[in-house]
Amino acid sequence: MTFPEFSNDQAVFKNNFLQVMQFVFNHTSFDPENEMDQAALAALKPLGVEPGKDFDNSGVARIDGEKFAKTAADIRSESLDIKIKSQGSTELDAVFLPKGEMTLRNMVIQSAVGPVGLPTQEAQYPSIGTIDGQPMLASEHYVIGMTQKQLPPTSAFWSATLYDSESGLFIPNEGRKYSVGENGGVKLDEQGGVEIHIAPAQPEGVPAQNWLPSGGGAGQVDVMLRVYGPDIEAMKVWQAPKAIKL
């Protein structure tokens, strides 16, 4: 399989959006009864992109890549604001509903922030906000505390994963430590609870298993919980913890 050139979403919108969409259309099943499927086909057809075609740059419309990229960046920024303002609620679980149940609003959020995930009954991804509502900074020290009863309700496992807010990627570090949890190493306290620390350097007295290296610098970071095999009923009332800046 020959993939079109790809680095990130913004580059695609700017440089080769129609080429990538032709590739996507050729590897996607479209439901004739699904309104959003049909709207996507109708939007791209006048531009020269239809399922089953080979991409021909001379046979597609000329689009303003700079404008596409700016619009996509604005949507991503608005979507991240929604994610941060949710303050760890499970509102954004709706972005991983099956076809037919997905709303256009949540499809846009999913496309701009996190387009890959399991269906909500198999995994849920609540974000962790700060107790004061401010974004987390890579230069600061934060702690996320959960008692045994406050741990995510799951029949499989949970983890807390740290991301660079700007790139959406893991933060490089010598120990290659990107998550704390039952699959990535965690040290529970004597009562079965846990404290997860986010800081540029390992805080004194904090086990390495419970430290997420933030890299320092002036950027922002995001923490997302991954709850695999969630207890669906319990998750409806469960509240994700909030980070406290020390």
The predicted model gives 197-213 an average pLDDT of 95
Between 207 and 79, the more confident residue is 207
Domain membership flag for residue 13 = yes
Give the residue numbers spanning the domain of 197. 119-245
Asked whether residue 125 falls in the same domain as residue 229, the answer is yes
DSSP secondary-structure letter at 191? Answer: T
Domain membership flag for residue 82 = no
Asked whether residue 47 falls in the same domain as residue 124, the answer is no
pLDDT of residue 127 exceeding 50, the answer is yes
Tokens of 159: 């983890």
Q: Tell me the CATH number at 186.
A: 2.60.120.600
Asked whether residue 234 falls in the same domain as residue 168, the answer is yes
Which segments of 60-121 does DSSP mark as H helices, in order? 65-85, 104-113
Tokens of 33: 């009864």
Q: Which amino acid is at 142?
A: Y
Q: Give the domain-ending residue among 63, 80, 99.
A: 63
Give the count of domains, the chain: 2
Between 99 and 60, the more confident residue is 60
Q: What is the mean pLDDT of the chain?
A: 88
> How far apart (Å, rounded) are the C-alpha atoms in residues 172 and 24?
30
How would residue 87 be classed by pLDDT, with cut points 50, 70 and 90? very low
- Residue 214: left (phi > 0), alpha (psi -120 to 50), or beta? alpha
Model pLDDT, residue 89: 47
| pTM as predicted | 0.70
- Length, in residues, of the chain: 246
How would residue 170 be classed by pLDDT, with cut points 50, 70 and 90? very high
Q: Give the domain-ending residue among 21, 44, 63.
A: 63
